[in-house]
Amino acid sequence: MSDRPTPLRRTKIVATLGPASDREGVLEQMIAAGVDVVRLNFSHGSADDHRRRLSAVREIAARKGRSVAALGDLQGPKIRIARFTDGKVVLEEGAPFVIDVALDGQAGDASRVGCDYRELADDVSAGDRLLLDDGRVVLDVSRVDGSAIHTTVVVGGELSNNKGINKQGGGLSAPALTDKDKADLETAMAIGVDYLAVSFPRSAADMEEARALLGEAGREIGLVAKLERAEAVADDETLDGIIEASEAVMVARGDLGVEIGDEALIGTQKRIIKHARSHNRAVITATQMMESMIDSPLPTRAEVFDVANAVLDATDAVMLSAETAAGDFPVETVEAMARVCLGAERERIAQSSGHRIHEGFSKIDETIALSAMYAANHLSGVAAIACMTSTGYTPLIASRIRSGLPIVGLAHSPVAQRRMALYRGVISLPFDTSEMSADELNDQALARVVAQGIAVQGDHVILTRGDHMNAHGGTNTLRILEVEAQHE
């Protein structure tokens, strides 16, 4: 028998592209280091930048035999103050400060500043708390007089141009999809992203609006809801509605933490991950995961624990932002994140599951997928679960159960292969059944798993498939196959 295969990382890595990844050879090294999904941040760069970067990703991934998904991330209604005459001011604690939505955009000083969001004066009232620059400056509203919002500085400090504004507890009425977002959505469709992230959705209706804008031409693009607003997580009904209206959700901890408070963030992160998995949706944990590595070759211990904690919560993916888009050590950051994920996944809690163990099932494909995972987790000698799939749905369902075993998604469609790149524990491989007879399918699937070094002679592989390949929802068969010498 051959040596046991090296354990495969289950938690996926999303890396944002930018000037740092544009440097010669860096993108290829990042993909080699373990990037599963690239993020195209539409808050920065032109349509041509995003098209060029995605084209490079596709070329490298094809050359390396990898399925790497692309996530387009819409900017959303980022509400910002305007600009200061001298570029920045220092606000003193206890001092009055006015945000005037009618003020000239360049005329700010230490007593007042304009705002690009004209409705802000209608959305706030006396007693509200405003948080500027990700909460570094805190203002309490004393009164609203027409276009002028009068506040008192609670936490002062330096404030510079175009910093963001959040209202503690949420309640800003800006629509989730701006005119810029609608234009960027068209770009995302044109360049061929696999997922599209919607920023600041307040309810399922915002996701449904994005779905309608994608239309038939964008029906193969999965929607990701970025959970950033207090309203989105205020109650389980709203949260579950957003989750069900999306293919995946993102725990976007920057704006969310500002709106609900850092003390509520860790519990909310765990609740989001749990709800997403229970609704059979993928979940990404994001923001400041390894931020010190923007200018340091090693993460802090706190960052290591943060990533590991998300892994133990069973997030599908962890995301890097400025670390890989603009940092000095993009490749080292991906490598560090991969090491931490693997380390956390060795813990027993990451491999045991009670997912839906006391629930009934209504769908045959769901029953087969979950039965395969329970069998794999309890039958000695199983090396992998292989799923023949047309859309990636069966591997998604199977991946909701914690396990130490790889799930191999065998799909003919490149779209399905890339969609599966986001799912925890799923390895997506091309598998064209068009020239295979029904009798050949099982042997060819097993041979594909062995060729990847996932199973060796004497191992068992659990295989799920349908009677009719390439039919959505058709999985109805579970087989336990043994790797014999001829498969080696």
> What residues are annotated to the active site?
39, 80, 226, 287
Enter the tokens of residue 234.
Answer: 């205020």
Give pairs for 271-276: CB < 8 Å, separation 24+. Answer: 271/233, 271/239, 272/227, 272/233, 272/239, 273/310, 273/313, 273/314, 273/315, 274/313, 275/236, 275/239, 275/240, 275/243, 276/243, 276/248, 276/249
Distance CA 164, CA 258 (A): 11
Distance CA 239, CA 63 (A): 40
Enter the tokens of residue 450.
Answer: 């062995």
| Dihedral of alpha carbons 352, 356, 357, 361, sign | negative
Q: Kindly report the length of the chain.
A: 488
Closest CA to 33 of 41, 25, 24: 25
Inter-axis angle of helices 236-244 and 262-278, nearest 10: 50
Inter-axis angle of helices 179-191 and 204-214, nearest 10: 50
Distance from the first to the final alpha carbon of the chain: 10
Q: Within 10 Å of residue 78's Cβ, how many Cβ atoms?
A: 17
Closest CA to 327 of 352, 294, 303, 349: 294
